[in-house]
Amino acid sequence: MWISPDDIVHKPVSPPPSKRIPPALIADGHWDQDFTEVEDDIVFEAFYDRFVKDVEWGETGYVDFLMTDASEHGNLSASDARARCERIDELYDYIRKEGFKTQAQLLDEGSLIRGLNDSLRPPEYREIPVDIARGGEFLWHGGMHRLAIAKILDVDEIPVRINIRHEQWQEIREKAYCGERLDAYSYHPDIKYLLE
């Protein structure tokens, strides 16, 4: 699904329940009610400093962050953290010059990030995952690096993969699928294709 990166404003404080790989499930509960701003995330702030304010990586706090276990990419040595930052510079330059492409396009071009070419999962699985809250709001689930770059570069649309939908949102989708008129949601990308 293609959406504006500006449509992803929040991230849940606690992730929704997920017991499957890939998740792609319906989940009830209150996981979509307590969230923080994506732009308050340490990765977004560091990327903003680097690419908008032209701050050196070592001064953004991101290198130190990568050397802790707070990041899924963490516990790196200082040299590995700096090497990762160099790859992020390359990613930023690529997206700035070539545009934001799907993982399938990158695979066809041979431009995938090193280490992903041999993945057993299809390229679509590697798109930025989002969750959908009970009212239809897109919530960040993963891929903060690409999302931050897309927001900073003011990219119009990015491909995302729906990871988890709130149970109440799924009920709205089912009503649309069954032909009920839902004008308030007819614009929503997760409903629109059901109406077409």
Question: What is the average per-residue pLDDT within 167-183?
Answer: 92
- Residue-level pLDDT at 113: 58
The DSSP code sequence of 57-72 is HHHHTHHHHHTSSSST
Considering only CA atoms, which of 187, 156, 176 is closest in space to residue 3?
156
Q: The tokens of 121 are what?
A: 């999962």
E-assigned strand segments in the chain: 2-3, 8-12, 25-27, 35-37, 128-132, 138-140, 158-166
Summarize pLDDT for 43-94 with one digit per residue, the tens: 999 999 999 999 999 999 999 999 998 877 778 999 999 999 999 999 999 9
Please state, rounded to an integer, the average pLDDT across all residues of the chain. Answer: 90
CA dihedral sign of residues 10, 63, 145, 118 = negative
Q: The tokens of 7 are what?
A: 């449509």
Considering only CA atoms, which of 57, 54, 50 is closest in space to residue 85?
57
100: left (phi over 0), alpha (psi -120 to 50) or beta: beta
Considering only CA atoms, which of 3, 2, 31 is closest in space to residue 17?
31
